[in-house]
Structure 1
Amino acid sequence: MTEYTKGLCDFITKLKFEDLAPDLTDKAKKLTLHVAGVALAGRTLPTAVSARSAARATVGTQADLMSTMWGEPGKLPMHGAIMANATAADTLDWEDCSYTGHPSAHLVSVSMAMTEAMHRSGKDYLTAVIGGFEVYQRVACYIQPTPEFDSRKYGWGLGSWQIFASAAPAGKLYGCDADQYNLLLGATGCSTPVVNAILALQGSDFYHLQYAITGLTGTMVAGMAKRNELDNIYNIMDGESGYPMMMRGFANEGWIDRNLGTEYLFGQLLFKHWPANMWIQTPIDCLDTLVTRHGFKAEDIEEIFMTPTYDERDKFSWDGYASCRDAQFSVPYCLAAYLLRGEPGPNWYTAEHLADPELLEMASRVKLDPDNHMNLQVAFKMFREGSFPTTSMRVTLKDGQQFEVTLPFPKGHPNNPFDWNDVERTFRAGARAANLPEEKIERYIELCKKIDELGDMAELAECLSM
């Protein structure tokens, strides 16, 4: 029998900050700035509001361990802050993308809330974020469906295996030993939400609220593991009754133990440039490039033609869009929002804009190539292999002028990475949208650059309170 579970447990429990290369810790610092910014930007949208309400109703307002609920005054019990901040981080679909989902909504919110409440160091935080990602990503890659599997019909489980991005850093920060961590992985697997297709088919914003639930559950079972409250759920990544069987029988050998401890998959994480689905990042980059170069405005445009057409990202209806999530997965909507709704943020997805006639009229001018379709399984395979689908766009103006651009990678891809100016810009936009005081904005940016020097992460986290 394999020993995948034991290998993961040995890796994460022995991992030290000193094991991490500077390029990895620098990326984790940037991620901390980026995720907080997009969470603050999304805090006024209904899903983020609902998550804050659910957090207060579920965990109350007082506990021994208290953490900042970003963009709010005061603190909340640690588990409640995790619930609220995790959903806020995903609400605008703006945080990150690995080739298995959006783990940073949990990695950052869980690790920051825990290190704040427990007064742990910045080195502890960075180690939990990077190590937690390695556990999450290797598990998620291990149980990915085969290319011929109909994920559109039966569902793709990013909201399911996402729970490991919560439990993995939590177990590290609680100081679980290898035996406790083994039980934690077992409990996390048994607590995984069922894979479903209904959220995508109906465009439900519960897609974002799942992060509150899996954030709470993952950290809760990590605490149970540390307190020795779990038993007899060992080696869940191994054997016929293990996690692959639970997740519909898929087992991709070679992912969990692939150069574990020497190759860090965290370096392949993509930062999102725009509040939209990952396959809409390059299309918006294309339009932004043309607008910046040529200075045309929305009212000048006759047609926007784009190739390829990304599967399931072409939705347009004169009836509008059913939810924030529904719009975030539409190339026509997102391009129109870029042109008409100004600086990226919650204003792209407020309820009144989802069926706004002006926006829908502009979205109707977006024409997607009927002869060149990009299958998402193929696109994800390219991403896993270090590449990305190339996108081309042609904008035709009403006066007959045409402008074209082709981009191989979106901004934020490992081959076109964010620098500090990029993440600072995103954070400032989100923080100002939340009316965070300017002195706290600048202090948070300053401290993010030297997280590894902080003795108490509360100093950083408290910058995000009103």
Structure 2
Amino acid sequence: MSDLLCRHIATARWETLPDLAREGARSVALDAIGVIHAASGLAPEAAPFIALARANGAGPCAIIGTQHRVQPIGAALANGALAHAVDYEDAFDRAPAHPNASLVPVLLALAQSEGPVDGRRFLTALAVGGDVACRIALSLRQPMEQGGWYPPPIVAAFGAVAGAANLLGLSPQQTRDALSLTLCQVTMPGEIKHSRRTTLRAVREAFPAQAALTSVLLAREGVPGFEEPLEGKSAFFALYAGGQFDPADLTDGLGVHYWGGELTFKPWPSCRGTHPFIEMALDLSARHGIAPSVIERVEVSVDGIQSMLVDPLARKQAPETAIDAKFSVPFTTALALVRGAVRLEDFDAASLADPEVLAMAARIQPLLEHRPEWQPGVGGAMRIMLTNGESRHAWLKNALGCPTRPLPPSAQRAKFVDCVDRAASPLKPDAADRLADAILGLDLLDDVGALFQPTG
């Protein structure tokens, strides 16, 4: 199995990508680069990672959204910290994966340090790496959480190393070595979900991004790895899933079907599991003219996956950190009902202390339920009880942004422009439009790294 996967990673080329994979890679690049820009201006949690990257010396790689240029591994670390910090990046609804939050920072670092890297080479690596991350997540038959792990950053690391190996032109053997070296570095404990104090959940992708880039560079230098880094006796699936996995999910359709063409692009900057409740709250309040003052309480029906977004309830009704608020159904639903929107600026210190939002969040009560018609983790139901005794109901199979209900291209572009305007070094609208055009036309570019030259 490792042999087949590594041959595919090493040999995939632009000419062999289906159109859906190509289009998906363009959309991923636009979304991810925009989101990293926004985090550079909005995520103080990432500041120590940026400081460490800068302390290791100047170099050819941009910390996106800033004027800082650092060494490649520092860039992967810093941009990785930014990639998930505002929780606005793409998601894979079918399995626990954010396949590109580590991958894009790694590929950007390589494009600027190993260049020139043309756009087709970059997009191919993006398609390959994202697909591998999704396939690994889909193949699990024992939840990683059962062993105390937190899956998304772990899965993402292996996708990132696959994409980087493809971009660097590593051989199948070197690719296997790089996967092995990633296995020696990547980890993420489930405690990241339970600690009230930590903000590591926001900057988590710094670690897999750094690990992935380190792995491919060491593999290129000849560091030997394991024969079976995935399916071996004590390898990935044994360690993280008790050996319970389906090889077919990993290899069927390999090189023909790419999951990167079936991702979700977020309309709201919060955990994907909160989105059905945001959407229902916005829709019900708009359609029925529901003012916050006439809401007595709100019942939200969540499934087992979403239970982490309501438990412990008191903490989720009054989160202390931005990332905890983004992982809270009560808080994000309250934002939607009180402010009529859930925006990047709605998770600052003032919002976390807003008495009207907190009072509404305290009125939101979860019910554990699952219906077969809901997509696990991204569906749900809502009932708003009014002070006059009436109620309003809604349910969603899957929230806006998913492959069957995608954001239109105009909305994706508007999201990008809004994000880059919030960067530490924001772009003017005309410059943002030019960058968006260049990213959407990456396959025509000779040097991707040149897009991120300092602006003075």
**Normalized against structure 2, the TM-score is what?**
0.88
For 1:158, the equivalent position in structure 2 comes to: 152
Are 2:410 and 1:421 equivalent residues in the alignment?
yes
Mean Cα deviation higher: 447-456 or 233-242: 233-242
Superposition deviation, residue 75 in structure 1: 2.4
> Residues 288 and 154 of structure 1: is their aligned pair in 2 closer, same or farther, counting only changes over 3 Å?
same
For 2:418 and 2:47, the matched residues in 1 are separated by 19
For 1:262, the equivalent position in structure 2 comes to: 256
For 2:141 and 2:83, the matched residues in 1 are separated by 24
1:113-128 to 2 correspondences below 5 Å: 113-117=109-113, 118-128=115-125
For 2:108, the equivalent position in structure 1 comes to: 112
1:177-256 to 2 correspondences below 5 Å: 177-193=171-187, 195-203=188-196, 204-228=198-222, 230-247=223-240, 249-253=242-246, 254-256=248-250
The residue matched to 2:132 in structure 1 has which SS? helix
1:5-404 to 2 correspondences below 5 Å: 5-43=2-40, 44-57=42-55, 59-62=56-59, 66-98=60-92, 99-117=95-113, 118-143=115-140, 145-146=142-143, 151=146, 154-193=148-187, 195-203=188-196, 204-228=198-222, 230-247=223-240, 249-253=242-246, 254-308=248-302, 310-315=306-311, 316-317=313-314, 320-340=318-338, 344-369=342-367, 372-374=368-370, 382=375, 390-398=379-387, 402-404=391-393
For 2:432, the equivalent position in structure 1 comes to: 441
Letter of the structure 2 residue corresponding to residue 71 of structure 1: G
Letter of the structure 2 residue corresponding to residue 454 of structure 1: L
CA deviation map 1:388-421 (0-9, x unaligned)? 7542323345566644333222111111112211
**Normalized against structure 1, the TM-score is what?**
0.87
Whether the aligned pair in 2 keeps the contact of 1:183 and 1:233 (CA below 8 Å) is yes
For 1:107 and 1:341, the matched residues in 2 are separated by 34
Letter of the structure 2 residue corresponding to residue 307 of structure 1: S
CA deviation map 1:128-176 (0-9, x unaligned)? 0110122223234444525xx864x823332333321321211111111
> Residues 241 and 264 of structure 1: is their aligned pair in 2 closer, same or farther, counting only changes over 3 Å?
same
Whether the aligned pair in 2 keeps the contact of 1:112 and 1:461 (CA below 8 Å) is no
CA deviation map 1:396-452 (0-9, x unaligned)? 455666443332221111111122112112112212222322222111111122111
The residue matched to 1:312 in structure 2 has which SS? helix
CA deviation map 1:218-248 (0-9, x unaligned)? 10110111122x1242221233233222325
For 2:36 and 2:440, the matched residues in 1 are separated by 19
Letter of the structure 2 residue corresponding to residue 28 of structure 1: A
Letter of the structure 1 residue corresponding to residue 63 of structure 2: M
Give the CA RMSD over aligned residues.
Answer: 2.7
Letter of the structure 2 residue corresponding to residue 452 of structure 1: D
CA deviation map 1:169-211 (0-9, x unaligned)? 1111111111111111111112222x52211111432123231
Superposition deviation, residue 78 in structure 1: 2.5
The residue matched to 1:192 in structure 2 has which SS? coil
For 1:338 and 1:50, the matched residues in 2 are separated by 32
For 2:373 and 2:166, the matched residues in 1 are separated by 33
Whether the aligned pair in 1 keeps the contact of 2:178 and 2:225 (CA below 8 Å) is no
Letter of the structure 2 residue corresponding to residue 123 of structure 1: R
The residue matched to 2:84 in structure 1 has which SS? helix
For 1:295 and 1:41, the matched residues in 2 are separated by 32
For 1:49 and 1:339, the matched residues in 2 are separated by 32
For 2:234 and 2:385, the matched residues in 1 are separated by 57
CA deviation map 1:250-303 (0-9, x unaligned)? 331222222212222223322222111121111111122234434544345333
Letter of the structure 1 residue corresponding to residue 44 of structure 2: P
The residue matched to 1:406 in structure 2 has which SS? strand
For 2:162 and 2:283, the matched residues in 1 are separated by 39
Whether the aligned pair in 2 keeps the contact of 1:119 and 1:458 (CA below 8 Å) is yes
For 1:232 and 1:79, the matched residues in 2 are separated by 21
Whether the aligned pair in 2 keeps the contact of 1:175 and 1:226 (CA below 8 Å) is no
Residue ranges of structure 1 left out of the alignment (5+ in a row): none
The residue matched to 1:368 in structure 2 has which SS? strand
Mean Cα deviation higher: 213-222 or 260-269: 260-269
For 1:431 and 1:52, the matched residues in 2 are separated by 18
Whether the aligned pair in 2 keeps the contact of 1:41 and 1:345 (CA below 8 Å) is no
For 1:275 and 1:22, the matched residues in 2 are separated by 28
Mean Cα deviation higher: 241-250 or 77-86: 241-250
Using the aligned pairs only, state the percent identity: 24
For 2:342 and 2:435, the matched residues in 1 are separated by 21
Letter of the structure 2 residue corresponding to residue 212 of structure 1: A
Mean Cα deviation higher: 80-89 or 345-354: 345-354
CA deviation map 1:352-410 (0-9, x unaligned)? 433443321011122333xx4249xx999x55xxxx75423233455666443332221
For 1:329 and 1:305, the matched residues in 2 are separated by 18
> Residues 422 and 160 of structure 1: is their aligned pair in 2 closer, same or farther, counting only changes over 3 Å?
same
Are 2:405 and 1:450 equivalent residues in the alignment?
no
> Residues 349 and 373 of structure 1: is their aligned pair in 2 closer, same or farther, counting only changes over 3 Å?
same
The residue matched to 2:309 in structure 1 has which SS? coil
